[in-house]
Amino acid sequence: MAIVKQCSKCRKQLPLEMFCKSSCTKSGLACACKVCHRKRGEIYRANNLEKCRASSRRYAHANKEKVREVWRNWIAKPENKEKTRLKNKRLHAADPVKRLENNRKWRALNPEKISEYCRKWRSANPEKVKQRCQKRRAIKKGAQHTPYTKAQVLALRGQWCGICGLEIDLSVKYPHPMSFSFDHIQPLTKGGIDAIENIQPAHYSCNCKKLDRTFGLSLVANGGVLSVP
């Protein structure tokens, strides 16, 4: 039996493992080599994008478990870790609100995984844990704190997100990304105080994305004068 075969497309003499199996040919192998086969597939896909997408969707819908299994195996491979990370980053940038919501759902369904992950992270990063504790303690000690309520903040600032400027639907409950949250206009980490003068309403997701930056007008920075649109 021959150990090489000629590809009908690129005409190269190639080892048999370079050909896909086929039930349509006498030899049991496809006429074109894997490289040519793949190239043809790519060209077809580029010319029939919508059709291919619809067919992929149909297949995925009909074979949910199979697709999930393939996906799980692919993610588990170390060479695909970086690819997965980059893809997640791209998806997050494309629709942050949806990604936050998906994350929240996943967290709610996998509390053991989260605590296991946190436990591992803490034991692998003892220095960082120490630094975080110190920072939290310093903030608590250093920040001036005057109690305030949600009703007081809404009465003072209105029902608007101080970060994106859109209205906040108060019927939406935490931890929904569009739910109400208290936002420190001047972050505590930047010397802001924990009192109503430095608090504005914000969507939970806007607040999460803001991190340590300053948005909105602190009454302290404005000499105690409130100027809200």
Question: Using the rule CB under 5 A, is 172 a contact of Zn ion?
Answer: no
* Contact partners, residue 170, CB within 8 Å, separation at least 6: 154, 159, 180
Q: Which of 5, 19, 30, 33 binds Zn ion (CB under 5 A)?
A: 33
Closest CB to Zn ion among residues 37, 198: 37
Closest CB to Zn ion among residues 100, 163: 163
Size of the site for Zn ion (CB under 5 A): 10
Which residues in the chain belong to E strands, given as ranges?
Answer: 4-6, 13-15, 180-184, 199-203
Question: Using the rule CB under 5 A, is 7 a contact of Zn ion?
Answer: yes
* Smallest distance from Zn ion to CB 53, Å: 27
Closest CB to Zn ion among residues 10, 86: 10
Question: Using the rule CB under 5 A, is 203 a contact of Zn ion?
Answer: yes
Question: Using the rule CB under 5 A, is 10 a contact of Zn ion?
Answer: yes
Is the CB of residue 204 less than 8 Å from the CB of residue 180? yes
Question: Using the rule CB under 5 A, is 18 a contact of Zn ion?
Answer: no
Query: b/e for 58-95, b at 16 or more Cβ within 10 A?
Result: eeeeeeeeeeeeeeeeeeeeeeeeeeeeeeeeeeeeee
